[in-house]
Every structure is written in C-alpha cells, then in structure tokens.
Amino acid sequence: MSEHLRGYHRGGYFARPGSGDRAMMGPLHPEPVKTVERPSLTAKDDIAIKHFEHIGSYSWVEARKPTVVIPGSPAYWRDRPLPYQVSVDAKEQFVDQGGERMGCMALYPLIRAVDLESEEQGNDFDWGAVDFVGDRNSLRKLLSWVQDNDGRYKPFRIDTQLVGHRTVLLNRWETRMTGAAGHWPINFQRESTYKPPGYEHIPTVSHHRVAKYDFGGLTMVVRFSVDACTPLKAADRAMQTPRLGVGSADVDSLSSMLSGMSVTSHPARSLEIDREASTPELDIIRVNSPVVPQSSLIEITTRSERNVTAYKWVDTYPQLYFSQTAYRYLAVHQQGNFREVRKHALEDPEMKRIEAQLQGDFRKLRSALQVIQDLVVEHGERGRLSLVFEGGICRVFERRSAESCLPDTMLRRFEGF
C-alpha cells in the first residue's frame, strides 16, 4: 500500500491526471544519449539478497520545515476481532513523501538517518563502498522494465547521479507527489493499528527504514516505507517508550513549529529539536528507543471480495523481497466491511516458490543495474542522466539542469575515508 506502482500491480496509490502533473520529459534534452536494451538471461547462478542489515530509520513529522523523528517507529498492528466496518478514504495521500517534502533532495533524510545511527555506534558509514542508493520503488520499476515483453507496463522516470567514484544515486521521480489511495486502504490501516507507546503525541505520518545488502555482488542501500509491525513483547515494549535525545530545547521555536501540526494535545512538552543533529535542510527529533526488529514488519493491502481472486502474489512479491519485509497482510472486505485478513510470511513455502519463479527476472535486473552503473560512471560526476521507460523501451536522457540530488557537504561522504 505504500508505493505508487499502478501498472506494476493492482491497487496501491495512483496519481490522478490533472493540471499539476509534471511532464515526463521536462526538463530533459530531447535526444537520448543511449537506448538501453533489455538484458538477456545469461548468468546461471541464482540471485539472493545477502548480508541484509538495518542501517537507519526515521518517521516523518507533520511540520512546516521538513522534520523527522529518529529512529521513529511504525504503527503497531491491533489484531482487532473481525468483522469491522471502515469508512471510505476521502483524502489524497502522498505518492512520494520524500519528494514532496525535500524536492530534488529526496535522498537527504535517508543519508542523514544512516549517518546519525552510525555515529551513535561510534563509527562512520562507508558510503564510498556502496554501488547504489535509492528507494525500493526504483528497484521495482527497473524490475518491471526487464519483465516487460509486450510494452504493457506503465512509463516511469528515474533520475541518476554519480557520487564519489562508483556510487549511483537513484532519485525517484513522479508526475505527481500526491494522489488517491483507492477506496479503503488508508482508513483500514488507521483503524487496524495504533501508535507505539510514547509516540501518541508525536504527529508522525509515515515510517521509513534503510537497509544495506548485497544483491548479486552489488552493494545496495535501499529505503522503504513500513505500514505496521507486530507488537513488541512486554519487556521490549517497556524499552520502546522514547526518551528525549540530547540537544538544547528551544521551546518557543518548537512551539511555533508545532503550531502548523494537526495535533490535539501539547507535544511541545515532550518534544525537542536536536540542534546539533539538525541541518538547514532537515530538523531532527531524537528519541532513545530500540529499533523495531525486521522480523516484525508488515506490508498491508486491501481487496474487495469480488477482486481478491485476481490478486497476484507474483506481482507484489518483489515489494517484500527488495525490503525483506517479514509479512504481507491482505485484508478482504465487502464495501468496507472487513471480514478476513490473510497473513503471509516472506519465509512461507509459497513465497519461496515465487522467489524461485522470479530468479530469471532478478538476474536480468542485476545485469541492468551493472549497465546503468557503467553508463553513469562513464558520464562522470557532472553528468545528469535520467532513465525514461515508455512503451517497453528504456532510453537515457541528459537533464538540462546541473542541479545536484544532494548538497556538496553530503556529497563528500561518498569520496571515501
């Protein structure tokens, strides 16, 4: 439910066409630099995600200036007795929250969260050893390209940039940053979860995790959103209650910031901006709470009883795979009356069969990523290349603007230590 991928799977967010839509080709030079051929299946070894490691997390806070809570937390699954009625969704939701709040620097909070977590552990994260930094959404889009045998998949664009000697930024690009969520998924999630202890008065709106792993020999840093998690055990729950991080509290400034939030209590009494961790681009609220374990993460989706038989697990499995999300909860309803929640685990035998079925596509994706990395490296740090997929063809265009996806101070993190 967390990603804009209509055309890649049924359901999820979709952007309504309108006057606010951005043009896929603007502002790009009209002639492509290259047409990238869909890779053929050559490698024989299976692709597996190895050495998966959580390296950062944060939750967005509704505020005038971009603000995150670190480490943040997803909502907890309530496991309510069924059935229960949920009202239809009425409001548009974020398609790309990072892009809406940070503009072209959507990857900024990802890197800041990882750096802060590394500092807490007493080390520096080696960004120069990473091959790709991006969102799970971008990997899913690239996978749809290598799977596209008949030109049926939806067009997409991904902006790239070389940082350091080899690291490629995959910057998500959408025609619109907000869109309709569907009929019931947002309200179902709201009615089926609750905020973790200690976060009740923090106006968080979404939770995001960052993982590092090996994908066929490439070192990937991947951000993904999390819908919910299974509740922690009693002992862990006591530890989960946030305690304020260090940093001088500016109550007047914070109260002014919070005046733009939709809250009904007085969060200024329990929140403070960490001035040492914050930057001109992003305010940070630090809490001392354990990170929710990967084994408890849940992706939620909804289907009507009429359409649930058409749900294709093979189409949505990559969403779990690229983030190693532990569970998919499929909630079934009739006009908002939810009667069943089908719970599937990533490690279920059925899911393992789907992983085996997709091995050919994963190997093609690995080859495609190598082609993309080689091309971006060839064009150097000043190059500004965008991948545009349409009608089954992936073309590479130069952007007219030399604007960077990250500020210079952050770019230096990729030069190595």
pLDDT in tens, the chain (417 residues): 544 333 333 233 333 344 457 888 989 999 999 999 998 876 678 899 999 999 999 999 999 999 999 999 999 999 999 999 999 987 777 777 888 899 899 999 999 999 999 999 999 999 999 999 999 999 999 999 999 887 788 899 999 999 999 999 999 998 876 666 568 899 999 999 999 888 888 899 999 999 999 999 999 999 999 999 998 764 454 444 444 443 333 333 333 433 333 333 333 334 789 999 999 999 999 988 888 999 999 999 999 999 999 999 999 999 999 999 999 999 999 999 999 999 999 999 999 999 999 999 999 999 999 999 999 999 999 999 999 999 889 999 999 999 999 999 999 999 875
Residue 28 near residue 398 (C-beta atoms within 8 A): yes
In 3D space, the residue among 52, 41, 70 whose CA is nearest the CA of residue 136 turns out to be 52
Contacts of 402 (CB under 8 A, 6+ apart): 382, 384
Closest CA to 185 of 336, 341, 311: 336
**Chain position carrying tokens 């997803």:** 74
Q: How far is CA 94 from the centre of its chain?
A: 12
Complete DSSP assignment for 140-166: HHHHHHHH-SSS-SPPEEEEEEEETTT
User: Kind of pairing, strands 204-215 and 193-194?
Assistant: unpaired
Q: 3-state class of 176 per DSSP? A: coil
Q: Which amino acid is at 306?
A: R
Tokens coding 308: 């649930």
Residue 44, Cβ neighbours under 10 Å: how many?
7
End-to-end Cα separation, the chain, in angstroms? 39
Matching residue, tokens 């983030």: 323
Sign, CA dihedral 347-351-353-359, equals negative
| Nearest C-alpha neighbor of 169 from the set 4, 32, 373, 342 | 373
Token code pair at residue 191: 């009615």
Burial class (CB in 10 A: 0-12, 13-18, 19+), 136: buried
* Bridge partner residues of 53 (DSSP): 212
